[in-house]
Chain A
Amino acid sequence: MANKTLSGAEVIIECLKREGVDTIFGYPGGSAIPMFDAILDSSIKVVLTRHEQGATHMADGYARQTGRVGVALVTSGPGATNTFTGIYTALMDSSPIVVLAAQTTTPNLGKDAFQECDTSGMTFAAVKHSYLVKDANDLPRVMKEAFHIARTGRPGPVLIDLPKDVTAGPCTAPFTDQMDLPGYKIPTYAPTEAVEKAAEYLKKSKKPLLLVGHGAMISGASRQVKELAEKLGAPVACTMLGLGAFPTDHDLSLGMLGMHGTVYANKAVLDCDLILSIGSRWDDRITGKLDVFCKDAIKMHIDIDPAEEGKVLQPDVFMCGDAKLVLEQLLPLVSKLDTAEWIKTCQTWKKRFPLTYPKQGGLRMQHVIATVSELTKGEAIVTTDVGQHQMWVAQFFHINHPRQLHSSGGAGTMGFGFPAAIGASFGNTTGWPVVSFSGDGGFQMTEAELATAAIHKLPIKIFVMDNKYLGMVRQWQDLFYDHRYSSVDMQGNPDFVKLAEAYGIPGLRIKRAADAERVIQKALEYKDGPILIHCECEKEDNVFPMIPAGAPLTAMITEPPKAQLEKPTGST
């Protein structure tokens, strides 16, 4: 189709429609005006955010919720730089987003023009791929490629740098499905020999463990994971981002492993004779001290990213491919293992070392989270921010469904949770409420998006877990730095109920554990848009179990230590 009369901006918007985009998140500015003008004549909904970081986190939340590509549209200069945290967050968690960043005109490039920024240059290290479009006739191909790259293989963020003369000028190139990506390969099935070798190892295993990561979720492999676990009789541990790819309430589930994982998951890691990672990248949060991690166990790894092979540890078998397809290859080759003893051992650990929290003292975040989980029967889309509350959500919210929990894992981006809840809410077709858990620190980083939630009357239950501290940092200072608190006191916190009310959002407050159930029930019953629940929590609570960073899994501590601990050797 010839489209002589269309501008570059109009072509971009038409390409978005052809990619099935119905909602984008954005913030305008001078050089983005042609695109914001063109979108007025389309059916695409633009969600005007209050900050570009919010727009990228929303696009990310939308992508995690739907499995489709989330889109952010921003202006040049500071508009673009404000998206970098969101782009990096999406890269670290393999989330498919496309960021359309306006730019000064092409003749102005490199001349320090007003709001010029070398956006593509600054983001090379944070994107899966990026484009600087200097000829409007490249737009149909670039848009096609950008969405393809963002969503396929190991998904990730793609940035398109769009000079204003390119978007305002004419584009005469036809719309196309043709792509020019000679270097881009998408693994599908793993080599047969590798899968056969894995099956052989499995046959010999008496104490197998499945380690399920985000890759399993992205690939849509939860049915295959369950089938494999049940067919083999193998217990399953999930990474934080893998939670939901296998139901936490399943008999074979050991919940989350790693630094703040369950005792029984970590014990299983220590004791298993074979570990099969399905779309997990052996992150330092889960392996602890690497040279003793699963030292005597056979290690097998399914990953769609060939560069993950041997990146952290050298597996006995690496199966490069899409988790779902590789599991379908593997399933016919395996049969029930003699694991009755092993499962019994794991069940005993589960009974002996359950996740608990102290019931005395002030309001506990764990109590709030467990109550929300119970009252919603676990039927809620949950987003978290980063820190103590995040770990407690992973521990105490019963995540039983894929794409139910959205959290910034790899990047640990404070400020992610609430805008991600907004994005997820736009993509939510489950009929379940969206519950956003944030700490008082992280919430204040992106709280301006209260306006966005209010305008669109999004049914989000916004929990602000306020302990008036940067709790996780305080916990480290408490345990490892001789209780010397440095810059963690959040003195100056607002009254979050009043803050919500200032945006026209009703606010509730919980101060005592005894009130939690009643107030949470009220919040869940509220049907007229967002509602904020200010939880004034116990100030100095610590997350256990805990494995100090860089320590072996055997160094797990399950309760407040009596003596000062050594400073951790691992990162953060």
Chain B
Amino acid sequence: MKDTAHSISLLVANRPGVLVRIALVFSRRGYNIDSLVVSPTLDPNFSRMNIIAHGNPDILMQIIKQLEKLVDVVQAKDHTNTDAVEKELALIKVRCEPGQRTEILQLCDHFHANTVDMTEHSVIVQITGNSMKVDSLKSLLQKFEIVEYIRTGKVIMLRGEDKT
């Protein structure tokens, strides 16, 4: 079966070691976690984790069941292809000589991205959005020199009144 990327959302008890236990479910199969977001929830006793991982869908389904089985995991859900808001934030530092500013700023404008730092020879662009949007801007900025690049990983929230 073809490898696919999956967006997994976890609600976990806020305890030391919980991240290791979760990581081990992936690593025992030699699976890599592509991105990981950990965040507090409204209740300080719990944290929310969003994991993006790619691999064989059957195996990922098994991984989700084994995550759900962990004592500290309250809930594990696959949000791939569900009606959820999925957003990422990226910071992209681009070498930018004074003559290139206009073009870069136009690109940013098109993507509703902001510049959050600017020097004589560089600019940091901040972009928020779904993964494809972030990828697109990044690839367009590649014609300039990207000096540094970091992104948060996906935060996921189910649309409507239902909880994620």
Contact = CB atoms under 8 A, between A and B. Distances in A.
Contact of B20 (A124, A181, A307, A309): A124
Interface in B52-100: 58, 61-62, 65-66, 68-75
A197 interface: no
Nearest to B46: A182
B158 interface: no
A307 B62 contact: yes
B21 A183 contact: no
A442 B68 CA distance: 37
A129 B20 CA distance: 12
A125 B66 contact: no
Contacts of B30: none
A121 B16 CA distance: 11
A121 B17 CA distance: 8
Given A125-B28, A182-B13, A309 B65 contact: yes
B24 interface: yes
Contacts of A305: 69
A120 B16 CA distance: 11
Contacts of A130: 17
B71 A128 contact: yes
Contacts of B58: 310
Contacts of A310: 58, 61-62
Contact of A311 (B62, B70, B71): B62
Interface string B1-39: 000000000001100110011001000100000000000
A59 B37 CA distance: 40
Contact of A182 (B17, B24, B28, B74): B74
A125 B24 contact: yes
B153 to A, nearest CB: 22
A305 B66 CA distance: 9
B28 A306 contact: no
Chain B CB within 10 Å, residue with most, of A120, A130, A307: A307
A121 B23 CA distance: 12
Contacts of A92: none
A305 B16 CA distance: 25
A87 B17 CA distance: 18
A381 interface: no
B interface, by DSSP: helix, strand, loop or mixed?
A: mixed
Contact of A183 (B13, B16, B66): B13
A183 B72 CA distance: 5
Contact of B66 (A120, A149, A180, A307): A307
Interface in A292-318: 305-307, 309-311
Contacts of A184: 71
A128 B66 CA distance: 11
B69 A306 contact: yes
A212 B76 CA distance: 30
Chain B CB within 10 Å, residue with most, of A129, A183, A306: A183
A180 B45 CA distance: 10
B67 to A, nearest CB: 9
Contact of A124 (B12, B17, B66): B17
Contact of A307 (B21, B45, B65): B65
B69 A307 contact: yes
A283 to B, nearest CB: 16
Contacts of B69: 305-307
A120 B70 CA distance: 15
A271 to B, nearest CB: 28
A132 interface: yes
Contacts of A125: 24, 28
Q: For the complex of A and B, list the 5 residue pairs with the smallest distance between their C-beta atoms, beginning with the closest.
A: A307-B65, A183-B74, A129-B71, A307-B69, A307-B66
24 contacts: A120-B17, A121-B20, A124-B20, A125-B24, A125-B28, A128-B71, A129-B72, A130-B17, A132-B17, A180-B13, A182-B46, A183-B12, A183-B13, A183-B70, A183-B73, A183-B74, A184-B71, A305-B69, A306-B68, A306-B69, A307-B66, A307-B68, A310-B62, A311-B62
Given A124-B20, A310-B62, 8 more contacts: A121-B17, A183-B70, A183-B71, A183-B75, A306-B68, A306-B69, A307-B69, A311-B65
